[in-house]
């Protein structure tokens, strides 16, 4: 039996705490480091559906998550005269539509996972600091923090979002794999030139000034929205794009969630990918430790193997997205109205919902047991005490040449994920 590893997780948003939550049940200690001086509560609404919702159920958190949803009824499009163009309500049985029945603010969801980890003695947090250098010496990862502190860990996980600092440190030789979709957020440093700089390099006042300049004559609700924007205390904005990489790990360091495979909010799958990715990665780490292999890097390879097809399918955006939804000309607006109206009045959205009822990712059920890892038909299990352009890959790294897992012909998702994971103790 291999010694239980020490693990550093960079990022305290969604994927990081979920990963720590599962690992803690196996007695594996994690340290989560977050650049923000305290827990971040900002963020837009996010969806949880399909496999992501199933993992939440197995964590025993579905009830509390549903109690904090926005209770959004769906999505409605109207014209300049407030006349209906199209309407897409949430299907209560499946959660499928342009919205989801699990629609929750990112900060609320993050708080739920954060609170769960707070109940475990195996999870520590460091706020207001971040990693500035990583050195994988083959047996440990030596880490230096912005505060000057130096530490070493067996594994490091980068779960620090689409603009991941961990990713830049891990793969300095590759071009940034973040691909902007030129959508939603501004890309400038001043209102006069919305083409020059990423929004994450602008401060809050510059961001708001740009929005005000762009939408000051938009009409309808724009004036009220801009007025409320000035007074809001939870301002949040990000550039919309995708992260596509040929590999998500190197040596003892791996990427998770948006840092590795951000599908963009347009996909509606980012949160679920982060949750499922954390679940699968935790299972592979635990299995490696239990087997006494001592080769924890292989766990990263298996994690990629099982997640790859699911990620690639989630990153396939609908034809014309996002440009068709953000038309810049009168003709473009007419096309958008026509497409939405056709989908709505033809009933195609109902066909979409019926087809997606059959989309299932078969992920393993957890059984919490002190006797070891085993499958179970148990519907849920708590992760802590009861309560509530692709980047070029390195040339000869063997862990980057992993055969893809068999996938379901209907869903494109992993047909089998037969690792069993998470127990109260690893004998």
Q: Residue 40 in contact with residue 188, Cβ under 8 Å?
A: no
Whether residue 128 is contained in a domain is answered as: yes
Domain that holds residue 152: 7-70+102-180+238-316+364-400
One domain, residues 138 and 191: no
Number of domains in the chain: 2
Cβ contact 314:264 at 8 Å: no
**Are 228 and 248 members of one domain?**
no
In a domain, 264, yes or no: yes
| Same structural domain, 219 and 148 | no
Range with the poorest average pLDDT among 111-125, 187-201, 323-337: 187-201
The residue among 15 and 381 whose pLDDT is bigger is: 15
> What pLDDT does residue 92 have?
63
H-assigned helices in 191-269: 204-215, 222-231, 258-261
The answer to whether residues 277 and 290 belong to one domain is: yes
Contact 269, 413 (CB under 8 A): no
**Separation between Cα atoms, residue 146 and residue 148, nearest integer Å:** 5
What is the C-alpha separation between 378 and 361, in angstroms, rounded?
17
Highest mean pLDDT among 39-43, 158-162, 373-377: 158-162
Helix/strand/coil (H/E/C) assignment for every residue in 130-183:
CEEEEEECCCCEEEEECCCCEEEECEEEECCCCCCHHHHHHCCCCCCCEEECCC
Domain CATH code at residue 37: 3.50.50.60
Same domain for 245 and 373? yes
Residue 230 and residue 106 share a domain: no
Can you give the pLDDT at residue 257?
A: 95
pLDDT band at residue 68 using 50, 70 and 90 as cut-offs: very high
- Kindly report the pTM of this predicted structure: 0.76
Residue 35 pLDDT grade (very low, low, confident, very high; cuts 50, 70, 90): very high
Same domain, 193 and 312: no
Please give the residue that has the higher pLDDT: either 324 or 386. 324
Residue 226 shares a structural domain with residue 118: no
Does residue 229 sit within a domain? yes
The two three-digit tokens of residue 159, written as one number = 């779960």
Q: Tokens for 18?
A: 């979920």
Which range has the top average pLDDT, 12-16, 193-197, 292-296? 12-16
C-alpha separations of 183 from 47, 80, 216, 314, 327 in Å: 19, 22, 18, 18, 11
- Each residue's pLDDT tens digit, 52-61: 999 999 999 9
The whole-number pLDDT of residue 37 equals 93
- Give bridge partners of residue 34 from the DSSP assignment: 127
- Taking the C-alpha atoms of residue 267 and residue 177, their distance in angstroms, rounded to an integer, is 18
CB 250 within 8 A of CB 397: yes
pLDDT band at 348 (very low <50, low <70, confident <90, very high): confident
Q: What pLDDT sits at residue 352?
A: 62
Q: What is the mean pLDDT of the chain?
A: 77
pLDDT at residue 399, rounded to an integer: 35
Q: Calculate helix-pair angle for 106-118, 15-25, nearest 10 degrees.
A: 20
- Residue 183: is its pLDDT beyond 70? no
Nearest-Å Rg of the Cα atoms of the chain is 22
Residue range 104-130: average pLDDT? 94
Question: Does residue 376 register a pLDDT over 60?
Answer: no
- Residue 87: C-alpha distances to residues 83, 321, 379 (Å): 11, 18, 34
**In the numeric block, which tokens belong to residue 268?**
């509606």
User: Where is average pLDDT lowest: 13-22, 237-246, 411-420?
Assistant: 411-420
226 and 109 housed in the same domain: no
Q: Give the residues across from 45 on adjacent strands.
A: 105
Residue 210 shares a structural domain with residue 297: no
- pLDDT over 50 at 194, yes or no: no
User: Is residue 358 in some structural domain?
Assistant: no
Asked whether residue 420 is assigned to any structural domain, the reply reads no
């Amino acid at each position: 039996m291999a010694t239980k590893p020490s693990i550093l997780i960079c990022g305290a948003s969604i994927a990081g705490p979920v990963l720590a939550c599962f690992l803690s049940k196996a007695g594996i200690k994690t340290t989560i480091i977050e650049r923000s001086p305290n827990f971040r509560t900002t963020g837009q609404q996010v969806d949880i559906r399909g496999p992501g919702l199933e993992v939440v159920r197995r964590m025993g958190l579905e009830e509390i998550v549903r109690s904090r949803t926005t209770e959004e009824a769906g999505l409605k499009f109207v014209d300049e005269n407030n006349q209906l163009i199209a309407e897409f309500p949430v299907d209560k049985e499946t959660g499928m539509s342009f919205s989801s029945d699990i629609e929750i603010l990112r900060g609320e969801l993050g708080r739920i996972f954060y609170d769960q980890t707070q109940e475990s003695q195996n999870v520590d947090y460091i706020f207001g600091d971040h990693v500035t250098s990583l050195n994988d010496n083959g047996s440990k990862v030596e880490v230096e923090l912005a505060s000057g502190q130096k530490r070493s860990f067996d594994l490091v996980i980068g779960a620090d979002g689409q603009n991941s600092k961990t990713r830049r440190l891990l793969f300095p030789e590759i071009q940034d794999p973040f691909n902007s979709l030129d959508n939603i957020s501004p890309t400038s440093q001043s209102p006069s030139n919305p083409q020059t700089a990423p929004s994450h390099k602008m401060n809050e006042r510059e961001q708001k000034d740009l929005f005000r300049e762009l939408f000051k004559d938009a009409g309808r609700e724009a004036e009220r929205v801009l007025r409320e924007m000035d007074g809001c205390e939870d301002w949040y904005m990000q550039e919309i794009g995708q992260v596509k990489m040929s590999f998500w790990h190197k040596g003892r360091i791996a990427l998770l969630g948006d840092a590795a495979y951000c599908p963009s909010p347009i996909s509606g799958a980012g949160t679920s990918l982060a949750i499922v990715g954390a679940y699968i990665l935790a299972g592979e780490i635990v299995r490696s430790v239990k087997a006494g292999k001592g080769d924890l890097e292989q766990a990263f390879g298996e994690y990629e193997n099982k997640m790859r097809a699911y990620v690639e399918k989630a990153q396939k955006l609908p034809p014309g997205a996002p440009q068709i939804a953000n038309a810049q000309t009168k003709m473009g607006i007419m096309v958008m109205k026509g497409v939405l109206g056709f989908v709505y009045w033809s009933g195609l959205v109902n066909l979409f919902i019926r087809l997606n009822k059959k989309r299932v990712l078969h992920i393993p059920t957890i059984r919490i047991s002190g006797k070891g890892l085993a499958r179970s038909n148990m519907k849920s299990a708590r992760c802590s005490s009861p309560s509530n352009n692709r980047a070029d890959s390195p040339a000869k790294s063997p862990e980057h040449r992993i055969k893809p897992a068999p996938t379901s012909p209907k869903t494109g998702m992993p047909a089998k994920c037969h690792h069993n994971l998470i127990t109260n103790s690893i004998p």
